[in-house]
Amino acid sequence: MKKYDYIILGSGPVAMHLLAKLERTTNEVLVVEKSLWGGTCPNTGCQPKIFMEGTVRPVLNSYYLAGKGIKEAAKIDWPTLVARKKKIWAAFHKNERKSMTGKHSDTIQGKGIITGPHTVKVGDQEYEGKDIVIGTGLSPRDLDIPGGKYAITNNEFFDLDELPKRAIVIGGGYVAMELATILQAAGTEVTILQHSDRLLRPFDQDYVQELKQIMEERGIKFHMNAPVKQITKDGDQYTVTTTNGENFDTDLVINAAGRKPNVEGMGLKEVGIDFDPKRGIKVNEHMQTSIPSIFAAGDVADNGQPNLTPVAWVDAYHIINFIENGITDPIKYPAVATNAFTYPEIAQVGIREDDMEEGDYVKTLDLSDMFFSIGEGDSHAKLKVILNKNGVVRGASELSIHAAEDINNFVPLVGRKYPAKFVEENLTFAFPTPANNLDTLFR
């Protein structure tokens, strides 16, 4: 049995950040991956999404500027876009596993099954690790309805060679809203079916409703409180039926109804690791599972944090500090920013207005009359910041085509006393840019 200092299950952001630290040591590391090297984010999630965003954004930007200096809106050449994506990602797939293999790190393709506090089995081989880290992430939750198999997920979306004329998107979260944005920009007739009356739950709901209205004005149709009952197939066409009896004919169905932690079939129950199939693996303040030599990090860990890539980075670094550097302080998460790459974008850090407590108050800023917003046709741009009675920033929300980038300016301000003083001492951002809004808010 070959022995390692660390065995890492999953090759996503947890593995990448553990390896970044461990490669500076002589620790022997084994990375086990059952699917695509690099995990969801670079393969079927945030990275192909942001790649397509590079085309979608100028197209939609030109849509809003048509007749205001641009003669006509641009159009997406879908076959060329997807072919370019496939070419770029083919090179990525070829090199990603190699990037994780080094002098002190091995990689194995296969499903890792935990057989004990220090052992993992892959195929018919068993390996020993002083510590084991589970970073297997999330995967799309199956549609448990008749015909659910007919729906594709984000796993297949970014390789669609043919653009559908019509598409049904089931769900109302990040994935649903972002894929709907891409498809509509490319010319598809898009309908979103959401089982409840809310979209994008982590975000400020006033801004979410405004975003919904903007998307509707571009032609995206929303049906709220419309749980899907079944999907039927007739040739190349599909019919999606909701529980209230509505039928929707379409050329493509996308399941964006949620994600689940990858915890099944890994031996967790057999060795006594506590987990919930919906929430993930239970961990303590050092990311240890119920077996101290086995850790869980990132989306698969039930750590009380949003399932976002930067959270996985924090988890990975804490594990290294705990094991290698003897740090005993509990893991501490900084303010976590999040955003949806819709158009316009919506972004959030800290608390929302709905979460305000007694003494909290809101400062708002209309960004639509800023010259950069006027120039880009961003007529709905707006920002709100929540402070407590002592002037401490508790959260910020933004709706604009630059919201994802701009919200990062507020991350170091959340929880900070005297934000006006901080801003006054850090006024020298490039000008004119969205970062200059800080001066306007706190002068």
Tokens in use for 415? Answer: 């929880």
Q: Is 102 annotated as a binding residue?
A: no
Is 215 known as a binding-site position? Answer: no
The answer to whether 146 and 21 have CB atoms below 8 angstroms apart is: no
The backbone region for 63, taken as left when phi is positive above 0, alpha when psi lies in -120 to 50, beta otherwise, is alpha
Work out the angle between the directed axes of helices 309-324 and 13-22 (0-180°, nearest 10): 40
- Report CA 436 to chain centroid distance, whole Å: 27
Q: SS3 for 292-333, per residue?
A: CCEEECHHHEECCCCCCHHHHHHHHHHHHHHHHCCCCCCCCC
Whether 173 has a binding-site annotation, put simply, is yes
Q: What are phi and psi of 15, to 5 degrees?
A: -60, -45
299 labelled binding-site residue: yes
Does 172 show up as a binding residue in the annotation? yes
State yes or no: 176 annotated in a binding site. Answer: yes
- The span from the CA of 18 to the CA of 25, in Å, is 11
Check residue 108 and give left, alpha or beta (phi > 0: left; psi -120 to 50: alpha): beta
**Element at 280 (helix H, strand E):** strand 280-282
Dist. CA 15–CA 197, nearest whole Å: 37
User: Is there a binding annotation on residue 174?
Assistant: yes
Residue 23 amino acid letter:
E
45 is in an annotated binding site: no
Annotation-wise, does 116 bind a ligand? no
How many CB atoms within 10 Å of residue 73? 16
Flag whether 270 is marked binding: no
Angle CA 50–56–60, to nearest 5: 140
Is 216 annotated to bind a ligand? Reply is no
In the annotated binding site for NAD(+), the residues are: 171-178, 258
In the annotated binding site, the residues are: 112, 171-178, 258, 299
